[in-house]
Amino acid sequence: MIKLTRWLSGWVEFSIAGKKKGQAERFLTLCARSGFVLWGMQAGGQESFRCRVRASEYAELRPYARKCRVKLRLMRRRGLVFWMKKLGKRKGLVLGSVWFCLILWILSGRYWVITVSGNQQLAQQSLLQAAGEEGLFLGAVREEIDEKALAAALMQRFPEISWVSVNTRMCSAEICLEEGVPKPEEESGEGPSNVLATIDGQILSIDTFDGTAMVQAGDAVTKGQLLISGVKEDRQGGNTLVYARGKIVARTRRTFTAEIPLEQTVSTETGKTKTRWGLQFFGMNLPVTLRTQPKGTWRKESLEIPATLLDTPLPILLTEEVWHEYREEEVTLNRKEAEERAWKIVNLQQAELLGKEGRILTETSKTAVREGKLILTVQAECQEEIGKNSQILLEDDDVKNKQENKGK
């Protein structure tokens, strides 16, 4: 503590030399009697000493030196005062230090590291993009971010999230979430409803979870026909309205069609590539190479390489852009190639329409070429679930009368 105090006030080291014996000792005695604090005393030779004193008191020792006929010689200067004077001669260093402190103060008030944890099905890039649209992005001002409002906005954007929180610490923010299983629409329980048929078919099986079954296995049904009623009779013989639920599997007939133009425009790469490098530094995009974006028909592939320090992400990102040149050519498909593409489209239609539990029992197909197109038509006998909930609309006269009476 004493060393720090002396450094802040500044001190000097000087030598004391006398011509005759006892002059230097007399000088030290007078200084001690006058209240000067001398330290670091060392013998320098015959009738000479070295010691230290506060810089502000060194000039006051001159009268005592003349009285004792000794010579004082300044050896060293140390302390904050001398350091500031020395630094003042280097204006560039001072200006750089001021700018460094200013930039550090500005950067410390923003978020430079944003991470996501807990996501399994949701893509991290989608979450970061949504957070950026809500205000949380690299370089966002810390005081302008409301963590609770941001979490609520993400919950609204992604219904598959069961809970989410935004944790902030210094210049980093972490989006913590947990994905949940969305509730099926038929179990939403939005008032009483019936289950109707979505397509014509023949019932193969019916499992009623709630409500009254109106058909049975083997029955033929038409689109819109009532399959499970939301009116359920209780033990006392009364009727109760419920949200009808059940699984109805039927044999159906569907037609799938795909059209493929025989004249196609295809893209073929020429093998020519160009690479551009960039650097994202604290939210700023800085070009590393002077190569400009190529003009013409090029396809871009991007690769981002984040910088880390001890497994901690840094606000520095190296980006690589690889551009591939391609040319467009007109080609004519033969019948076999066109049929292969048409069947791929039909298979996608079947998978999307029938779902995971549906399947094709039998199918017949025919192809034809008209107006430069190959047309594939598939007649399929399917097994699928055909039930769909339809809400029962009620008109409560008693409630209406009460509202009218309150209005009067």
SS3 154: helix
Q: Map out the domains of the chain as residue ranges.
A: 2-84, 113-179, 257-262+333-384, 264-331
E strands, 159-235, in order: 161-169, 172-179, 193-197, 201-210, 212-213, 220-221, 226-229, 231-233
**Superfamily of segment(s) 2-84:** Metallocarboxypeptidase-like (3.30.70.340)
- Alpha-carbon distances of 142 from 111, 113, 127, 132, 211, rounded to whole Å: 6, 12, 19, 13, 55
Give residue 156's identity as a one-letter amino acid code: Q
Cβ 41 vs Cβ 49: under 8 Å: yes
- Of the candidate CATH numbers 3.30.420.40, 3.30.565.10, 3.10.20.310, 3.60.130.10, the domain formed by 113-179 belongs to 3.10.20.310
Say which residue, 180 or 258, is predicted with more confidence.
258
Split at pLDDT 50, 70, 90, the class of 302 is: confident
CA distance linking residue 383 with residue 203, whole number of Å: 10
pLDDT above 70 as % of the chain: 92
pLDDT above 90 as % of the chain: 27
Would you say residue 203 has pLDDT above 70? yes
pLDDT given at position 101: 83
Q: What is the pLDDT of residues 314-331, one digit of tens each?
A: 777 788 889 999 988 889
pLDDT given at position 252: 95
Q: What is the pTM of this model?
A: 0.49
Q: What is the pLDDT of residues 331-344, one digit of tens each?
A: 999 999 999 999 99
* 113-179 and 2-84 share a CATH fold: no
Would you say residue 257 has pLDDT above 80? yes
Q: What is the pLDDT of residues 126-137, one digit of tens each?
A: 888 898 888 888
pLDDT given at position 228: 92
Q: What is the pLDDT of residues 47-102, one digit of tens each?
A: 788 899 998 888 999 898 888 888 888 888 888 888 887 777 777 776 777 888 88
CA distance linking residue 295 with residue 190, whole number of Å: 56
pLDDT given at position 137: 85
Split at pLDDT 50, 70, 90, the class of 249 is: very high
Give residue 73's identity as a one-letter amino acid code: R
